[in-house]
Structure 1
């Protein structure tokens, strides 16, 4: 694009664009958001800022909002009625200054503000909380409103009621196998096992079109037999569940020793299917740990790096943990990492292998939440972290 075309698309003068390119003037807040859209790039592409180091001001600019626009969007939120949010308060919040107003001193109020900011900036709550601690390290920790476990919907219960006994058995056994495989996959991540896409491991083998005396029974068929279904094929019951949008059926062929290419039926649960099964079986979706806290396998990585201290951890840290935790990384190419660990040379060393070390954000996270982690994951050996956090 020419300077003139870019200026016209962003809504500024060509002179302003020339200043940006020369580095003699910063891009204004409003123009920054429009610039991201016109160039179809991320904020990191323009700023060179590493994911996992964002401040509150960075999140607002990444959303393409000025302080006035952010304040206006927040005032429209139901939970903001008594906070009298203004652009000045947004600026004070971002700069680490005291925000005037009696309600702004309570951790619960700050948690409400953090949740609303996540909604307005369209980022996960954990991203806002991490940016908050970088911007306001001396503040009391905001307390996010507790998340509730999701209750089953009336639609899910109605769908279950419309199924016959055999269809219910099939849906139940497929759901149980789906949850078992998900648990196996979850436990494989911390040990660095090869990660397959969910689209692959959620497709469960239901049946092989061959004699059970030769190929045996699949895990789902064994469950069905235990539930009293002694001819667990892939016929009308499976077709009925697919018509209702509860499962997706895949038919292909697989090589079996002694039989050659054998027809195979695989099934994958849909979101509606899981919702119906959970409603029928009384399985509430776990609300999970608070949004700020790490999952078990990520917490183990942080503990390992923290306890290594100035020695650091070998740079070949296995698994996808660094995508979620390390400065400069992102788990999905869009959401920034937590920024709790960094790959660098040890202090005083300018060459040789890189190692993983805890960042200041990681240190603050441990200090803020160590007691919560002790209660949440008592099996994790974190002896020595009390001294580090102190």
Structure 2
């Protein structure tokens, strides 16, 4: 049976879904920022009914963040009013219009605020990770419990009252023992970790939590992390070398263009100045060569990076390689990228938000994405005005963006855990006791084949 939230999402067209998703992302970004401020001691009593409003259209000023994100998806403002009205009729958002003073005088600003039904519809439609239930740890507490589990039987120095409240003060019985710095996991904490691990990996896929039953089943090998980090650092070093060569070229060019100072009373001074000018011109030629070489090195590093990351992304989706085999496959893919191999389209994982972002990044990288209009000036990068080197060719810059997009989803095995969550220990035990066919098989695997089970437990 389809739930109310999923039914609300299914009733929307693609444009309405995109608007709702963008508004949801803006809403969650503001909420996360306020939570971070509160964690740092900066409290604001403004009610949610006020701070959840998001500006959608603000004529006479720069593009709003909502407009910029819609522009990236080739969606313009011509139909913004009708789209917002449709979402309001569905009860997913509220809309308000007000006149504000702007840099170009008074103008009408259109704002929107998601309702509870609107947020639920986005979560259902994009298969976002489920929200935690009563009695379950928040991500902050889970991250610290993971640190204590990894350090067991040792202690971990964690400062701050929030850790004490999350693991010692509030839970009954306490999940940790200690205070003001040194904490150790308790037996209740170990039991909580073992029995809730599968649930928390779905709630917080970005937290690298080792499997309590099988240390070798950690979905992201340490050796793979090192390989991907090395590929990324190679790109960063090449960027730095290219920028340094460009700076040296600019400095030498400035010296070479200085006028020759002639001193009729001191011919040696004039001769010395001419020599400095000639040396500056030589430095310009040398720096230009260094910048060209650094650019070539950067392009090779980016190709290796994107091929390696995409191979790890494919393995995360297909769940077909582990440990040494996965590391070897990523290394081989990176080597093929250095030799100039073409990239293949990313495989689809079944999660709309991930597939949409990956396919868009791939289309940008390969130049196959067709835009109805050119990007507005606010969206066009102009590095030259900041004194930096010339922008990379579109295809190379697109490859780097594709690699970063894929990395954001697979880091620490997050995507693998989300697509192939392991079975909770109690579920496995119950299945084994029933004697049913396939009992004891890990969740997400049927007959040795990977399946994408994303049902909320």
Normalising by structure 2, we get a TM-score of 0.33
Normalising by structure 1, we get a TM-score of 0.38
Q: Which structure: larger Rg?
A: 2
Higher helix share: 2
